[in-house]
């Protein structure tokens, strides 16, 4: 029985260490992004980076291997969970996808500018503007639907008012 409890405690410690590593990475990345856009806390970068190193080393000591690549990707992902978007109607999910495309493009542009990759920057521009175009298309489609609904409702109101006037 002690082995099961010990194994369970070890697993909880590994999960906690992995969560801590993801949280530290996300905190550092968020601050770096904010600094890149003219905000953030530049003075905190060294402390946050050191914290990431310490937590990752603790994880490695605990598990005998590095932080899994998937955990790093998950910690730094800015995309909403697919399951979360499923609660919305199709048109709203399309709007979310267009917005996510703009965000991905903007991040690509920013990252490429930092390291002077013009080709990658142009690819990010393309993605950003494809998202903008898609969002405009969706907004125009919604505008047309609203106009059609207004036109469809208007004749009914006119008929009612004519009947009232006749009486």
Whole-number Cα distances in Å, 107 to 49, 100, 122 = 21, 10, 12
Q: pLDDT value at position 114?
A: 95
Which of 13-17, 75-79, 109-113, 156-160 has the lowest average pLDDT? 156-160
Does pLDDT of 2 surpass 50? no
* Residue 4 in this model has a pLDDT that exceeds 50: no
Structure tokens at 140: 């125009």
Q: What is the pLDDT of residue 86?
A: 85
Dihedral, 101, 106, 107, 108 alpha carbons, nearest 10 = 90
The domain ranges of the chain are 1-77, 79-167
Q: Which residues fall within 8 angstroms of residue 26, CB to CB, at 6 or more apart?
A: 75, 76
Burial class (CB in 10 A: 0-12, 13-18, 19+), 132: middle
In terms of average pLDDT, the best of 4-18, 68-82, 108-122 is 108-122
**80-139 pLDDT tens trace:** 877 888 888 888 999 999 999 999 999 999 999 999 999 999 999 999 999 999 999 999
Task: Note the pLDDT of residue 140.
Answer: 95
pLDDT for 1 beyond 50: no
With a cut of 80, say whether residue 63 has pLDDT above it: yes
- Cα gap 25→31, rounded to integer Å: 10
């Amino acid at each position: 029985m002690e082995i099961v409890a010990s194994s369970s405690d070890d697993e909880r410690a590994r999960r906690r260490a992995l969560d801590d590593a993801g949280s530290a990475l996300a905190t550092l990345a968020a601050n770096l992004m904010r600094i890149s856009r003219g905000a953030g806390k530049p003075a905190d970068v060294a402390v946050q980076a050191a914290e990431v190193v310490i937590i990752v080393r603790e994880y490695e000591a605990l598990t005998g291997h590095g932080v899994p690549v998937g955990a790093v990707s998950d910690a730094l992902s800015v995309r909403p969970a697919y399951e979360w978007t499923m609660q919305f109607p199709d048109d709203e999910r399309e709007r979310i996808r267009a917005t996510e495309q703009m965000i991905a493009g903007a991040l690509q542009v920013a990252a490429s500018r930092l390291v002077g990759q013009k080709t990658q920057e142009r690819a990010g521009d393309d993605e950003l503007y494809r998202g903008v175009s898609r969002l405009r298309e969706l907004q125009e489609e919604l505008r047309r639907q609203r106009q059609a609904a207004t036109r469809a409702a208007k004749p009914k109101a006119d008929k009612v008012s004519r009947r009232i006037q006749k009486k």
